[in-house]
Amino acid sequence: MAQIRAGLVGVTGYTGMELVRLLENHPHINLVAVTSRSDAGKKVHDIYPFMQGFATGELEITVPDAPSLAKQCDVVFLAVPHGVAMTMAAAFRKEGVAIIDLSADFRLRDVAVFETWYKAEHAEPALLKEAVYGLPELYADQIAKAQLIANPGCYPTTSILSLAPALRNGFIHTAGIVIDAKSGTTGAGRKAAVGSLYCEVADTFKAYNLTTHRHTPEIEQELSLVAGKDITLSFNAHLLPVNRGILATIYTQLKDGVSFDTVYEAYTDAYEPHPFVRVLPKSALPELRNVRGTMFCDIGLVHDPRTGRLILVAAIDNMCRGASGQAIANANLMHNLPIETGLMLAPMVP
Amino acid sequence: MAQIRAGLVGVTGYTGMELVRLLENHPHINLVAVTSRSDAGKKVHDIYPFMQGFATGELEITVPDAPSLAKQCDVVFLAVPHGVAMTMAAAFRKEGVAIIDLSADFRLRDVAVFETWYKAEHAEPALLKEAVYGLPELYADQIAKAQLIANPGCYPTTSILSLAPALRNGFIHTAGIVIDAKSGTTGAGRKAAVGSLYCEVADTFKAYNLTTHRHTPEIEQELSLVAGKDITLSFNAHLLPVNRGILATIYTQLKDGVSFDTVYEAYTDAYEPHPFVRVLPKSALPELRNVRGTMFCDIGLVHDPRTGRLILVAAIDNMCRGASGQAIANANLMHNLPIETGLMLAPMVP
Amino acid sequence: MAQIRAGLVGVTGYTGMELVRLLENHPHINLVAVTSRSDAGKKVHDIYPFMQGFATGELEITVPDAPSLAKQCDVVFLAVPHGVAMTMAAAFRKEGVAIIDLSADFRLRDVAVFETWYKAEHAEPALLKEAVYGLPELYADQIAKAQLIANPGCYPTTSILSLAPALRNGFIHTAGIVIDAKSGTTGAGRKAAVGSLYCEVADTFKAYNLTTHRHTPEIEQELSLVAGKDITLSFNAHLLPVNRGILATIYTQLKDGVSFDTVYEAYTDAYEPHPFVRVLPKSALPELRNVRGTMFCDIGLVHDPRTGRLILVAAIDNMCRGASGQAIANANLMHNLPIETGLMLAPMVP
Amino acid sequence: MAQIRAGLVGVTGYTGMELVRLLENHPHINLVAVTSRSDAGKKVHDIYPFMQGFATGELEITVPDAPSLAKQCDVVFLAVPHGVAMTMAAAFRKEGVAIIDLSADFRLRDVAVFETWYKAEHAEPALLKEAVYGLPELYADQIAKAQLIANPGCYPTTSILSLAPALRNGFIHTAGIVIDAKSGTTGAGRKAAVGSLYCEVADTFKAYNLTTHRHTPEIEQELSLVAGKDITLSFNAHLLPVNRGILATIYTQLKDGVSFDTVYEAYTDAYEPHPFVRVLPKSALPELRNVRGTMFCDIGLVHDPRTGRLILVAAIDNMCRGASGQAIANANLMHNLPIETGLMLAPMVP
């Protein structure tokens, strides 16, 4: 088959870095153009010495330019900050290029919700209708036909995959759900900031943005659709002294009369067709390292008869499954490739 | 004043190590005897080279022997595993020595609850009546008169201090409380075990013992007493790749009509007399490093108007406040010393 | 082409774990048998949950048995402790199976040197003659024809690759060489030991086995052969709080009249045919993360005109290049596959 | 005795943070003024929440102003970047205040050497004559009488203390010395820089500034004075994924006829009067954690009969012994306090 030509706008951040790694290993998508205003003129291996010896390492970084990229690429990944992405996406769409946007700009279907949580006007509200939420386990068919993918956030990926089967089947109460999520520090991005320094993150741990994290409306939007009713939940984030990974512990209340066996079976059934979701054996719980560098979402289920709670524990790699790898899975679907193409690398432990 | 002579049974674990550090810095309690079956005959600095140059480093380690220690010591700290501690405590009490037991053996007031959760018979149920639960903010008066202290667990210390004011004042619903706790790896102890190896803990994160952690009944026991009604809650633990510290994020539901300002004021009032509990400013959240090596319990309060939740975030050092430092605070109270004696060291950050 | 069938004796250690990861990604070598006395009867994914969803994860672990493995396998990897490996290797060789031994048992050509440094008798001295030292950049031709590979140690791999071009060309004095090496903690193995606990390794750093490390004679043996004269050097090891990787800083004295440009050119020439050695640009220095999970040996060269020193800095992944990956590279050569088959995975950073 | 009033210029960096910690614990030096242009108007505990509950936490941060500080303080610590410090020191000296400068500005006795290595003109060369190099083990008498202390660099403190006895006694060759030093990340300071981000430092390791580190001339200057002859050596630095600490492995060549016992005895004799230098038992080696948060310089000595090398391994805390604690030790000496006043805190392990 013909190789798919991909462009990457924003190579210098962590999600850009991860796209470079994953596309180097991809048998059918070739990275042919990478951009960065600050590093234009250099080769990829100049800024990423770990790519010396690989084809992608030899690529020259250019200034982002929609018409020029449009000529070279079948699909373009946008790994730029929210706000910037929406304008770029519009420029690329005008040139007819398919876009996979890793920012938050097209994830919220209701522009008012976007503007409330992101405290900024949306410059391209018309494009929102065109955008497909790129969570393959929920929207594979629409993704396959889309030209503009809103690649999900890392916390929402974890949360939605964990809660969807329980909500879809009406096993749990929709009120009172708590998501206690813990993320590795790549989640804070690669910008120079005192709060992200090694000596401010190592050997410590903290909560942040409690009750106000911007991924909250994205989670509520998708789970409300799954449940068929409006869901308001408590989502809260913490910063882990690890590079990669999100682990979320999710507290729900099982409805009377629903047995744990029924729930467990519904989960294994729901995810049996989906290679990237691993429902763990009943006694097992996820660990970040088991999903590091991979597309897996590992889900463990625990029932507490004392409190009637169903506790879901889920782990993903925020960089791979929660961003760049998921973007490539979406690209696979858009080009009729098996979703796992180039993405089934055995994880490195430890 | 006369110096208080202290003994330490079990110097080779992490809580023993921490007692050595803290007592070296204590102006009125002298460590005069330390024991360890495996290292008897060595000096403390032979097994702890960081103690070279300190008086405690020169102490010779002996085999534990109650009659001999009873002659040398005014108070003995037991830093041995549960099960072992109860028998030792009985031997020491027979000699008339005051005991501060860092194990779980005397924390649960109801022997049946102990036997259910610890799956073992209690060898000294009669001593349970004599034991005082050594949480100074709740039981300072009883501690001052006690001869047998059940030093609280690390998770219970965090959880009880965080929830007590809200429950005492009836601000929150007693049903549905969730404690999502994260602990540093010293909590796993110093025994050689594959699961505690550096390469099994570093750069990863996981939940463990969900719904079955043995600190659960201890938390429920004390909070039920505070609330004046039986509380059943969901307590769940996670393992952090850090040496020290516990951070707990606690989810509660505020009762209708209770304002956040009222709650916040009740917390600052409740802990104003207690130097070791720091209620943080309204916009602030605890971090492990702020309490590392100290006796502080930092508590942050967050109100979520969307969900009606009151979220409490609390951090302690599991080794100091959660074990050895709290034991010394209890020893201070037992000997009519100000509680902060030898324990107000400024924390080391980073 | 026909798939090559591989066996793995000793799946439960870190090198076994790494072989599982790498062979899962290998297009032409299939892992068909894995053994472990302690875990026989389980599946691989029972002990390595990260392998759930992969073919290798479904393999059943068996008890090691040479005749049985001989029937199933074209090549067997021995990932067992030194001393044990030599006897097993003999048993397998009697069955006619090709062996790649990751232990130290066949690395030292002189049995007396082995017995001096390892303080044990060699049970199979006759096999030493048959063994080929499995460093592909030096011995590719012999490896291709070998039936018993002595897979090099991790420190020797780093040290020999770094020093070989300078010594082969006579650029540096052979006396006075210092190798200051720093290793990740997987190098200590996966056995339960207090010294390898997270809380004993994290946030600290130390030297160990100074002047007596058993990799010393292996380095001296190979470099003496390269230089054509006996070399005695100072090799010293340190333990890093990271999972993987070795970085060695090597101090040599440049001979009078040898220009740095000449040296640099000799290095780039020497390693131009070898895809796994990356000689870095003149101003660049290796970092562990750039080689993590890969077969690369990154080498940086620095000249100090003030002292006349040529400093070599080299980094490898001790688990992949320094053990299991190198074993697979040897298997590739033994089966006439390109050396990089299955081993050119782009590294994961960060 | 009267309390000594201290000022701190530059509270927001890591050395400022460490001075705050250490002075809070000091019985005779009170921190009465702290400055920072960016945080003026805030209280110390606003920027350092770990200082809530301590007297120093209540101090209000002001803009640095020499005349105003001169009125309030007996001694002023300068924790500002080199280049800035020299001008400030001059302003303070004009007001007659004693200064302890933690920057490099007054460490090099020869202004030409300063200008070569720091690539900048020295604005206050006249003050160089007044400055005393603040290494107490070498210059206690001069420090006691000084008004301007050039507080030593962290690497020089480690290197000079390790090598001084061997060089003073002529035990080792002065040529060919190699210092392979590894530092924690606080050494890179608290400025926002991509290279110091958690995700760029954690789980990796690298060398930096090989052959060109600015601490080299400082080490050579002091060791040349000790040896009575000019010394040129190879000093090289590495970045460790830990917060604090320097460990240096130092390679020297023992002169013919000098026995290791003689050397070892000279070290224990030399440091017997100095409480902050711990010469370890013959079989022991330093570890970073043993000195963390302390003033100790732990020195281990190893003799390699195979190569004739004397290897010195030394560890300090770069923040405490290598900067702020040493500054306080100097302040103690300047005010006729025992050097260990306020500085003999038992270390926290782990």
Segment B242-264 mean pLDDT: 98
User: Is there a contact between C176 and D176 if contact means CB atoms under 8 Å apart?
Assistant: yes
pLDDT surpassing 90 at residue A191: yes
For residue A298, the tally of other CB atoms under 10 A from its CB is 30
Burial environment of residue C136 by CB neighbours within 10 A (0 to 12, 13 to 18, 19 or more): buried
Catalytic-role residue among C154, C199, C297, C320? C154
pLDDT per position as a tens digit, C193-227: 999 999 999 999 999 999 999 999 999 999 999 99
pLDDT band at A283 (very low <50, low <70, confident <90, very high): confident
Closest CA to A316 of A250, A248, A251, A266: A248
* Mean of all residue pLDDT scores within chain C: 97
Report d(CA B63, CA C126) in Å as an integer: 51
Whose structure tokens read 């959240």? B285
* Chain D stretch 172-231, residues whose beta carbon is closer than 8 A to a beta carbon of chain A: 185-186, 190-194, 196-203
Residues 79-138 of B with CB under 8 A from D: none
Q: What are the φ/ψ torsions at residue A34 (nearest 5 degrees)? A: -130, 145
| Inter-chain CB proximity B193 and C198 less than 8 Å | no
Q: Which of C314, C270, C273 is nearest to C296 (CA)?
A: C314
- According to the model, what pLDDT value does residue C283 have? 87
Beta bridge mates, A29 = A4
Q: Report the distance separating Cα B257 and Cα A37, nearest Å.
A: 54
Distance from CA of residue D347 to its chain's centroid?
A: 18
Which residues neighbour A337 within 8 Å (Cβ) at sequence distance 6 or greater?
A28
pLDDT on residue B208: 97
The rounded distance, in Å, linking the Cα atoms of A200 and B62 is: 41
What pLDDT does A278 receive? 98
- Within an 8 Å CB–CB cutoff, is residue C292 touching chain D? yes
Residue pLDDT, tens place only, C102-155: 999 999 999 999 999 999 999 999 999 999 999 999 999 999 999 999 999 999
D48 within 8 A of B274, measured Cβ to Cβ: no
SS3 A180: strand
User: Is the per-residue pLDDT at D1 higher than 90?
Assistant: no
Binned at pLDDT 50, 70 and 90, residue C2 comes out as confident
Q: Quick check: A350 and C14 CB within 8 A?
A: yes
Q: How far is it, in rounded angstroms, from Cα A17 to Cα A319?
A: 9
Q: What angle do CA C293, C294, C296 make, to 5 degrees?
A: 145
User: From edge to edge, which strands make up the β-sheet containing C4-9?
Assistant: C61-62, C29-35, C4-9, C75-78, C98-101, C148-150, C132-133
For residue C1, is pLDDT > 80?
no
Helix (H) or strand (E) holding D145: helix D136-145
Residues in A touching B303 (Cβ below 8 Å) = 211
Q: What is the pLDDT at residue A2?
A: 85
In chain C, the residue whose alpha carbon lies closest to the alpha carbon of D198 is: C350
**Residue B2 pLDDT > 90:** no
* Residues in A touching D200 (Cβ below 8 Å): 198
Contact A197, D239 (CB under 8 A): no
Residue type, D147: Q
Contacts of A303 in chain B (CB under 8 A): 211
- Decide: residue A299, CB within 10 A, 0-12 exposed, 13-18 middle, 19+ buried: buried
Judge: B245–A208 Cβ closer than 8 Å, yes or no.
Answer: no
Q: Which amino acid is at A252?
A: T
Task: Give the C-alpha separation, B42 to B61, whole Å.
Answer: 6
Q: If we measure between CA atoms, which residue out of D164, D209, D161 comes closest to residue D321?
A: D161
- For residue D204, give both structure tokens: 């990796």
For the segment D89-100, the average pLDDT, to the nearest whole number, is 97
Cβ neighbours of B22 in D, within 8 Å:
346
> With an 8 Å Cβ cutoff, are D53 and B243 in contact?
no
Number of A/B CB contacts below 8 angstroms equals 147
CA distance B78 to C185: 33
Euclidean distance between CA atoms A287 and D126, whole angstroms: 61
Nearest by CB: D49 against B186, B275, B284: B284
* Cβ distance of A210 and B313 shorter than 8 Å: yes
> What is the arithmetic mean of pLDDT over B313-334?
98
Q: How confident is the model at residue C263 (pLDDT cuts 50, 70, 90)?
A: very high
So what's the pLDDT on residue D311? 98
Closest chain D residue to B198 measured between Cα atoms? D203
Q: CA-to-CA distance for C191 and C189, rounded, in angstroms?
A: 6
DSSP A195: G
- Average pLDDT of the residues in D43-52: 97
Q: Strand C132-133 and strand C148-150: pairing?
A: parallel
Computed over every residue of chain A, the mean pLDDT equals 97
C205–D238: do the CB atoms touch at under 8 Å?
no
- Whole-number Å distance between alpha carbons of B34 and B78: 10
Residue B26: CB partners within 8 Å, gap ≥ 6? B328, B341, B342, B343
CB distance A120 to A83 below 8 Å: yes
Q: Nearest residue on chain A to C292, judged by CA atoms?
A: A50
Backbone angles phi, psi at D312, to 5 degrees: -110, 130
Question: Any idea what the Cα angle at residue B195 is, between residues B189 and B199, rounded to 5°?
Answer: 105
Closest residue in C to D211 (Cα) is C304
pLDDT band at A296 (very low <50, low <70, confident <90, very high): very high
C-alpha distances in Å from residue A67, one per residue of A41, A88, A94, C299, D20? 19, 11, 9, 41, 56
pLDDT score of B283: 87
Sequence-distant (≥ 6) Cβ neighbours of residue C133 within 8 angstroms: C107, C109, C139, C150, C152, C222
Q: Where are the alpha helices (DSSP H) in A95-227?
A: 111-118, 125-130, 136-145, 154-168, 198-201, 216-227
Cβ <8 Å between C198 and B14: no
Q: Which residue has 């009883």 as its token pair?
A: B142
DSSP string covering D123-139: S-HHHHTT-EE--HHHH
Chains touching C (3+ CB pairs < 8 Å): A, B, D
Return left, alpha or beta for A188; rule: phi > 0 is left, psi -120 to 50 is alpha, else beta.
alpha
pLDDT digits (tens, 9 = 90+) for D122-135: 999 999 999 999 99
Angstrom distance (rounded) from CA B297 to CA B82: 25
Classify residue B324 by its DSSP letter. I
**Interfacial D residues in 234-263 facing A (CB < 8 Å):** 241-243
Residues of B with Cβ-Cβ distance to D287 under 8 angstroms: 49
pLDDT band of residue C79 (cuts 50, 70, 90) is very high
CB C210 within 8 A of CB D313: yes
Angle at B248 between CA B244 and CA B250, to 5 degrees: 175
Task: Give the three-class secondary structure for A309.
Answer: strand
Asked whether the beta carbons of residue C25 and residue A56 sit closer than 8 angstroms, the reply is: no
**ipTM score of the complex?**
0.97
Q: How far is A256 from chain B (nearest CA, A)?
A: 15
pLDDT, residue D188, reads 96
Provide the total of helices (H) and of strands (E) in chain A, helices listed first: 13, 14
Question: Please, what's the b/e burial string for B147-178 (b: 16 or more CB within 10 A of its CB; e: otherwise)?
Answer: bbbbbbbbbbbbbbbbbbbbbbbebbebebbb
Hey, is C231 helix, strand or coil?
A: coil
Q: List CB contacts of C176: < 8 A, sequence separation 6 or more.
A: C252, C253, D176, D253
How far from A27 is each of A31, A78, A328, C282, C331, CA to CA, in Å?
11, 21, 12, 33, 24
Q: Is residue A199 flagged as an active site residue? A: no
pLDDT tens readout for residues D196-255: 999 999 999 999 999 999 999 999 999 999 999 999 999 999 999 999 999 999 999 999
Angstrom distance (rounded) from CA A178 to CA A174: 10
User: Quick one: how many helices (H) and strands (E) in chain B?
Assistant: 13, 14
The pair of three-digit structure tokens given for residue A277, joined into one six-digit string: 């979701």
Half-sphere exposure of D72 (CA within 13 A, CB side): 18
| β-strand partners of C43 | C60
- ∠ CA D123-D129-D134, nearest 5°, is 100
Looking at residue B207, its pLDDT comes to 98
- C interface mutation test: which of A52, A274, A348 has the most C CBs within 10 A? A348
E strand intervals along D227-292: 234-239, 246-253, 277-279
**CA closest to B199 among chain C residues:** C243
List subunits contacting chain D, requiring 3 or more Cβ pairs under 8 Å.
A, B, C
Interatomic CA distance for residues C326 and C340, integer angstroms: 10
Q: How far apart are CA A162 and CA A167, in angstroms?
A: 10
Helix (H) or strand (E) holding C263: helix C260-271
The structure tokens listed for B292 are: 């590392």
d(C-alpha A37, C-alpha A42), whole Å: 11
pLDDT at position A108, please?
Answer: 97
**Which domains, from first to last, does chain A contain?**
4-130 (3.40.50.720), 155-318 (3.30.360.10)
